[in-house]
Structure 1
Amino acid sequence: MMRSKLRMLLPGAVGAFALLGAVVAPSSAAPADAAAGAPSGSAAAAPFWSCTVPSGYVYTNTRSTLNCSTSGFRTQYYVQPPKDGLWACSTASGFTYTNTRSTLDCSTSSGFRTKYYLKTPKTGLWACTVPSGFTYTNTRSTLDCSTSSGFRTKYYLRAL
């Protein structure tokens, strides 16, 4: 009789431990769009999960984890150096952006956040900001640069 009860309880206990392991275990999977943009052979430029966003880096995704805290869940950031053509959750010095989108990728608590399409500034680029060392020769009103709602100005850049 005792064996039959143990046989009934064993699958449930194994399932509970498996579920607990899936919830607590750190995820090693990287976001597909962020991992695809990593330069090969360059360990310093490879994206990685971090508990902070280091100076000179941007983040492209977030997750809630126990890895960054001794008491509860905290945000962990998927960080990498900024580069031309990267969708990032923050802007970076020396870059402008040409488009935005609303996404859950960048959320540090809940809700949608803005993601920016980073571009290296150059003459002839329509950009959402005018970086240092540039002026603009034309403007247009567009939804491309919106960080909340409504139209924003886009600038046609010219290097000084």
Structure 2
Amino acid sequence: MVGLFAALLIALGLAQVGTVQAGAAPAKVTGTWSCTVPAGYTYISMTYVTNACGGGSAPYYNVEAPRDQLYACTVPAGYTYTQVISQYNICNPNGNGHSFYLRVPKDELYACTVPGNFTYSQVIAQTNICNPGGSGHTYYLRTPRDGLYACTVPTGFGYYSSYNQYGVCNPGGNALTYYLRKL
């Protein structure tokens, strides 16, 4: 039935089929269904269609340009996420799949990942936030700067001193905290 519906949308010109060029304007891609997900984009749901994307049964994606505070099925470069939820038939049409709550990384944001140009000053263990099936770590993102206490020493920085602390950079034990200095 889905294959017939997709074929009808294609015939009426209401759906986009085929590869979308990565340089295409977001307005032309966002909110459309496509056989592929262009580089730099994500998708918010998917299904399978028959005889619409190269024959047989093939994935069909609801493509969106990534943006802050969007639930998406993938995490594009330049984004982090602050929550993962498990949903049935959204990101995996055959069962449970994960949706990520996308965030643009910024100073003083609790996030599930630490982007390359950030450090963090605290790690906390939480249940069902960054791991919908159990415990996961949440990081307090910080923009590296001189005089910041951080859990890592980013590229371009050294440190004046370090302190072994319990429960700050390791929620279940001791870890070093570094007093950063710009090189």
Secondary structure (helix, strand or coil) at the match of 1:113 reads strand
The 2-side partners of 1:74 and 1:44 are apart by 22
> Structure 1, residues 36-92: CA drift from partner, whole Å, max 9, x if none?
xxxxxx62453211101111110111011121132x221100112111000000111
Q: Does 1:68 align with 2:53?
A: yes
The residue identity in structure 2 corresponding to 1:98 is T
Matched, 1:24 2:8: no
Structure 1: 4+ residue segments shifted above 4 A:
27-30
Match of residue 79 from structure 2: 95
- The residue aligned with 2:69 is 85
One-letter amino acid matched to 1:118 = L
Structure 2, unmatched stretches of 5+, are 16-25, 145-183
Identical-residue share of aligned pairs (%)? 37
> Residues 123 and 23 (structure 1 numbering): CA distance in 2 closer, same or farther, change over 3 Å?
closer
1:115 equivalent to 2:99? Answer: yes
1:140 counterpart residue number: 124
| Cα root mean square deviation, aligned | 2.4
Corresponding position: 1:125 with 2:81: no
User: Which residue number corresponds to residue 3 of structure 1?
Assistant: none
Q: Over residues 125-158 of structure 1, what are the superposed CA-to-partner deviations in whole Å (9 max), with x where a residue is unaligned?
A: 10000001111111111120005x2201100010
Aligned to 1:151, which of 125, 129, 135?
135
Q: TM-score, normalised by structure 2?
A: 0.63
Q: 1:25 is paired with a residue of what secondary structure?
A: helix
Provide the C-alpha distance between the structure 1 equivalents of 2:65 and 2:103, rounded to a whole number of angstroms.
13
What amino acid sits opposite 1:117 in the alignment? Y
Larger Rg: 1
Aligned to 1:12: none
* Structure 1: runs of 5 or more not aligned: 1-19, 31-41
Q: Which has the higher strand share?
A: 2
Q: TM-score, normalised by structure 1?
A: 0.71
